[in-house]
Structure 1
């Protein structure tokens, strides 16, 4: 059974710039830059029939023109017990529409609703036993976060092997946005 999710890939120059934030943090398992992405919708493990239905459904999503997005800050999931360091994304109406459209399509083919609020981000590290103070020090020492923008002109359906996360990911299908 494939484990699927939809996402946006990052341009190599943005991946490189984000990779400079790596290192020097106890308990961090750093994500490889080639696996950086913005998850639109985690789907999970599905059978091959459902995977085929998902491939087809995503072909018929809402028409959205290419749009810019900006990575604007570093953030942390899990305040008292940090579990991930990420690069956050400025609010974007087209990004929200793209994600909401996929949510509706996936529910139509039987994928259960995702009960979590959509928080677009790029995971840089998964954290385990990282002290909040050490994390705050790391963020402060990593220097000012310079905003990085790029144009989204497609999304992808990705698969991963069952693991603790972080890749490697395989592109199963590429979906260009309207031009």
Structure 2
């Protein structure tokens, strides 16, 4: 299997609303709306045997109910060397619990711990040589971000091919929430 990660899909109507923020930022490579998602756990490049173990472990995940999620603003990663612009997901303890459970399950099958802090978000653009001033201006001029709320009824195991800018992503397996 190629590179794997788990995530929450973004419904088409939310993706359409997010796509209206595309453009107007020099150095941005915009993510295609059909590839919008909230990453829960990056797994990486693994062999078929480990992929089978991952699928099995995810199938054993506790069945919680659907999650109501809200995107409530724009932000960026990278500070003085911005690398991405994203839609922020407001605090959701249930989403953090789901991510923590997946982290625990991935460690049980032998994967190394994730070193990055979980920051739930939807990446809108990846940045290369973008000025921090341009990024700040971009975010400031789009200050009226509508609260976008949706219900996630499942999480999925995605695969991706090595490419510039991510995607296309393929759903390898889906796991219901509830």
What TM-score range do you get, normalising by the shorter chain? over 0.9
For the aligned residue pairs, the C-alpha RMSD in angstroms reads 1.0
Aligned length: 178
Out of 138-147 and 43-52, give the one that drifted further: 138-147
Aligned structure 1 segments of 4 or more residues deviating by more than 3 angstroms:
none
What does 1:25-64 align with in structure 2 at a 5 Å threshold? Answer: 25-64=25-64
Contact 1:2 1:48 in 2 (8 A): no
1:89 and 2:110 correspond: no
Helix, strand or coil at the partner of 1:49: helix
Contact 1:32 1:166 in 2 (8 A): no
Helix, strand or coil at the partner of 2:139: helix
Q: Give the deviation of 1:67 after TM superposition.
A: 1.8
Query: TM-score, structure 2 length as denominator?
Result: 0.97
What does 1:93-172 align with in structure 2 at a 5 Å threshold? Answer: 93-172=93-172
Q: Give the deviation of 1:143 after TM superposition.
A: 4.5
Helix, strand or coil at the partner of 2:175: strand
Q: Give the deviation of 1:2 after TM superposition.
A: 1.5
Helix, strand or coil at the partner of 1:149: strand
Helix, strand or coil at the partner of 1:173: strand
Query: TM-score, structure 1 length as denominator?
Result: 0.96
Contact 2:88 2:120 in 1 (8 A): yes
Distance 1:23 1:3 in 2: 28
Structure 1 unmatched ranges of 5 or more: none
Helix, strand or coil at the partner of 2:15: helix
Judged with a 3 Å threshold, the aligned counterparts in structure 2 of structure 1 residues 162 and 19 are, in CA distance, closer, same or farther, namely: same
Distance 1:37 1:161 in 2: 16
Structure 2 unmatched ranges of 5 or more: none
